[in-house]
Amino acid sequence: MSDYLRERFEDVDLTPGQGRISATISIGLGLLAVLAGFCFLYPELFTTPEFRGFYNATVLRGVLFAGIAVAFVAGFISVFRHADRRYGLAGMVLACMAALLGSGRLDVPPLNGRSLYAGFDYFILTLLVLALVFIPLERIYPKDRDQRVLRRGWITDMKYFLFSHVGVQLISFFTVIPIQVFLHDHVHRGFQQWVAAQPLWLQFLELLVVVDLASYWIHRAFHEVPGLWKFHAVHHSSERLDWMASSRLHLVEIIANRFAGYLPIFVLGFAPSAVYAYLVFISFHAIFIHANVRFRFPGVRWLIATPEFHHWHHSSEDEAVDKNYAAFLPIYDKLFGTLFMPDRLAARYGTRASTRVPEGVVRQFSFPFRRDKTPRP
Are residue 108 and residue 186 in the same domain, yes or no?
no
Which of 171 and 272 is assigned the larger pLDDT? 272
Are residue 93 and residue 205 in the same domain, yes or no?
no
Would you say residue 202 lies in a domain?
yes
Cα distances (angstroms) measured from residue 47 to each of 58, 97, 241: 16, 19, 30
pLDDT in tens, 97-112: 999 988 765 555 554 5
Helix residue ranges per DSSP H, the chain: 2-9, 20-41, 43-46, 49-52, 57-81, 85-102, 120-140, 154-166, 168-174, 176-183, 189-196, 200-224, 226-236, 251-268, 272-288, 307-314, 331-335, 361-366
The pLDDT, as a whole number, for residue 370 is 84
CB 297 within 8 A of CB 306: yes
Residue partners of 367: CB distance under 8 A and separation at least 6: 230, 233, 234, 357, 358
The residue out of 82, 117, 152 marking a domain boundary is 117
Are residue 98 and residue 180 in the same domain, yes or no?
no
Would you say residue 309 lies in a domain?
yes
* Residue numbers of the domain that contains 292: 170-369
pLDDT in tens, 356-372: 899 999 999 999 998 76
Largest CA distance in the chain: 69
Give the pLDDT mean for 345-355.
Answer: 88
Give the pLDDT mean for 226-237.
Answer: 94
- Mean pLDDT lowest for which of 137-141, 209-213, 349-353, 361-365? 349-353
Cα distances (angstroms) measured from residue 191 to each of 183, 188, 198, 266, 345: 15, 5, 11, 12, 44
Would you say residue 279 lies in a domain?
yes
Per-chain mean pLDDT for the chain:
90
Which of 170 and 345 is assigned the larger pLDDT? 345
Domain count, the chain: 2
Would you say residue 3 lies in a domain?
no
pLDDT band, very low/low/confident/very high, at 375 (cuts 50, 70, 90): low
